[in-house]
Chains A and B, each alone.
Chain A
Amino acid sequence: MPEKKAIQVVDIVKRYGNFTAVDGVSFDVAEGEIFGLLGPNGAGKSTLIRMMTTLLEITAGKAFIDGYDVSKQPNEARLCMGVIPQAMTSDGDLTVWENLSIYSKLYGISTAERERSIDELLELVDLNQWRNAPARNLSGGMRRRLEIARGLVHRPKIFFLDEPTTGLDPVSRVAVWEMIGDIKKKRNLTVLITTHYMDEADRLCDRIAIVDHGKLVALDSPRALKASIPGSSVIEAQFANAPAGWEQSLAGLSSVNSVQPEGANMYRILTDDGSRTTTELVESAVKANVQVSSLTVQSTTLDDVFVHYTGRQLRDQLADAPLYTSPVAWGK
């Protein structure tokens, strides 16, 4: 019996005038899966999630949430999903409890069920002691936990999180990751998460779709994606002086798949055998009287996967991208 699809996206397109933000993306998400959309800001991740969550009209293609066509049955789809937008949208003037209560009412939850559900959620996100505190008094991580609770007030089957840890400190990020994993298990949720953090996608997601310039460029499990690119290790080496033909010398070392010069005598070397290549690299440098300034060896990461499929570093893209794009601005 085939796996039931919680989310099905078929050749979906979003255009703003002549600009195509999402260009024919298709994927399925199985029930109970944590699915990641990975890409830099401006790649089209948020546009994609907004189309799936009925926030944006779809220019072409289809999206189904728990079998409901979001264009034709938006309210049925909305009842199946919880959505945490990228911006912190909880109301700072309202208390934690009031924020949850208002949203329970928007989902038409009865008074008795509301009280019980909010109490349970406050325990789940560890905010019970803050239930009467104004949301503005919470830290960034606590506020994000409140938003997670808010998205779950109606017991959705599918949970959308748009960059849930952006702007959080490392400790809060880890806490949010653990919480998402925990909630997913307890409530048997299907989770779709967008992120530009490689470690977040690697740690949380069962499968990852890499999105760039509105197109889906790769889709698989983190392990399969890493295995799909040549080389199991990456060596980053910087030299004080690099003679002519040095790049070719590096490419001739054992097990090397590719060498990418990165400027300032820095080279990124993909290899199937990290330790052997490193040893040979040092020996070659000594022989050629080339001084090694720095040397790091690491297993292939999703960043390498991103570089392989898009031809550039994700961090470069992040540096070029705007820090935050208002949800309203997208609608213009």
Chain B
Amino acid sequence: MQFFHSERMMAIVERDLRKFFRSPALMMAAMVFPLVQLIVLGNAFGGKIRDAKLGIVNNDHGPQAVRVIEALRAVQSNARTFKLSVYDNEQEMVGDVRKGDLNAGLVIPPQFSRDVYEQARPKIGLVLDNTDNFMTSTFEQTLTELVDALNQPDVQPRVVQQVALEVVELYPYIEYMKYLLPGSITLAMFVSVMIGGGIVYIDDKARGVHEGYLVTPITKMELVAGLNVAGALKAMGAGVVLTVLGSLIAGVGGAFSPSNLFWLVLLIATTSFAFIAMMFLMMVRINDPLIPRAIFGILNTLLYFPSGAIYPTQAFPKWLQGIAFVDPFTYSVHGFKAVLLKGVGLAAIWPDLLYLGGFAVLMFVLSTLLFKRTL
């Protein structure tokens, strides 16, 4: 007796794909969420802060204080990071920071100009609303740069006393939306397997569709392979659509050279197989249609966020880095970043392909072993 009948496996694939392509809602669901996330998060997080409210109290009124205020007004006019509001009273300004009317307040103390001339460690006070880390770091960075500029001597010394770091950027500036794109492509494939390999699979099981399969001579491996191939093809479709649309939206069309296209397709295929095999393993003994719906959010949080899709994994605590290490999202996101944002090929992505491929095989073997050929 033949061990594996590909026509039986392909019958399962055919059935799943016909069903999928006749349910536009299923296809849309897999694409819309990642696209919306790319557009909304890309625009929400990608921009620089503008027109934040900065109060200032000048308790000095000397020429050096005027110099500071002129420098602040220059930032207000050019970078437009903040708008200045001048206060007479320090207490009132701090009160407005507390109330949220101001994002930060700057205090120029009395005797500031004299301290500058006497080189007596002159100081400017910055009062911050530190409930917003992003705003706080923007003010700190902008005002530190401004103070550094004020500290530069009018006449450069003959011997350089301070070491400066000269930054060389290898790639063009990456906007946040571009940074998010690899994660969005990966997420589209995940949503596709969550719907096709999770929700629809369990719904079919509950409706008795699998009961129909189980009375035929199809083997465990043919059935599991058929369901996995069908799920992977659907996820690949979602991945390709998101790669094209997402690249157009985020503006990374330059990455579509023939060799990059080849690596992208390979990454999409291995990611799709890894995801569907993982999902199938999770669902292989589940019968309740509510479970895939209930765990969708948990899985999304557990797999997507630690992957480096929206924040570098190096910033994570050790335990979260441990999740990222085994998370197939991490390798997929890394691979897509390498190809889409850096334009590098196999040399950079072979570890990702190796991990995703090995992960897919392991998940497939385990799910085949656990799959019950009876009800």
Contacts and interface: CB of A to CB of B under 8 A. Distances in A.
Nearest to A86: B208
Given A85-B215, A87-B207, A107-B216, 17 more contacts: A55-B211, A78-B215, A86-B208, A89-B208, A89-B209, A93-B18, A94-B19, A94-B22, A103-B11, A103-B216, A106-B8, A106-B217, A106-B218, A134-B22, A327-B375, A329-B287, A331-B372
Given A56-B374, A102-B14, A81 B215 contact: yes
Interface in B1-34: 1, 5, 7-8, 10-12, 14-15, 18-19, 22-23
Contacts of A89: 207-209, 211-212
A98 B218 contact: no
B5 A328 contact: no
Contacts, number: 92
Nearest to A98: B18
Interface in A78-110: 78-79, 81, 83, 85-91, 93-94, 98, 102-103, 105-108
Given A85-B212, A108-B8, A91 B217 contact: no
Contacts of A86: 208
Contacts of B375: 50, 55-56, 327-328, 330-331
Interface in A316-332: 326-332
A238 B14 CA distance: 61
A197 B162 CA distance: 97
A83 B205 CA distance: 17
B209 A91 contact: yes
Contacts of A8: none
A228 interface: no
Nearest to A94: B18
Contacts of A81: 215
A87 B205 CA distance: 11
Nearest to A154: B216
Interface string A105-119: 111100000000000
Interface residues of B, number: 30
B7 to A, nearest CB: 6
B71 interface: no
A56 B215 CA distance: 10
Given A328-B206, A328-B375, A331-B287, A91 B214 contact: no
Interface in A41-56: 50, 53-56
B216 A106 contact: yes
A108 B215 contact: no
11 contacts: A55-B214, A56-B374, A56-B375, A57-B374, A91-B19, A94-B15, A103-B11, A106-B11, A108-B217, A328-B206, A328-B287
Interface string B198-226: 00000001111101111111100000000
Interface in B184-208: 205-208
Contacts of B218: 106
Contacts of A150: 212
A85 B209 CA distance: 10
A94 B8 CA distance: 17
B251 to A, nearest CB: 38
B374 A331 contact: yes
Contacts of B209: 89, 91
A122 B15 CA distance: 20
Nearest to A109: B7
A19 B311 CA distance: 53
Interface in B32-79: none
A88 B209 CA distance: 8
A289 interface: no
Given A57-B374, A78-B217, A93-B23, A327 B211 contact: yes
Contact of A54 (B1, B207, B215): B215
Q: Which 6 pairs across A and B sit closest by C-beta, in order of nearness?
A: A105-B11, A87-B208, A83-B215, A331-B375, A106-B216, A89-B212
Contacts of B217: 75, 78-79, 106-108
B287 A332 contact: yes
A55 B374 contact: yes
B287 A91 contact: no
Nearest to B2: A108
Contacts of A134: 22
B222 to A, nearest CB: 9
Contacts of B214: 54-55
Nearest to B219: A75
Contacts of A94: 15, 18-19, 22
A105 B14 contact: yes
Given A54-B374, A91-B15, A94-B15, A327 B22 contact: no
A56 B372 CA distance: 10
A78 B374 CA distance: 13
Nearest to A330: B375
A53 B8 CA distance: 19
Contacts of A87: 207-208, 211
Contacts of A331: 287, 372, 374-375
Contacts of B22: 93-94, 134
Nearest to B375: A331
Q: By CB atoms of chain B within 10 A, which of A79, A94, A103, A105 has the most? A: A105
Contacts of B5: 108
Nearest to A329: B287
Interface string A300-327: 0000000000000000000000000011
B26 to A, nearest CB: 10
A206 to B, nearest CB: 24
Interface string B207-251: 111011111111000000000000000000000000000000000
Contacts of B15: 91, 94, 98, 102
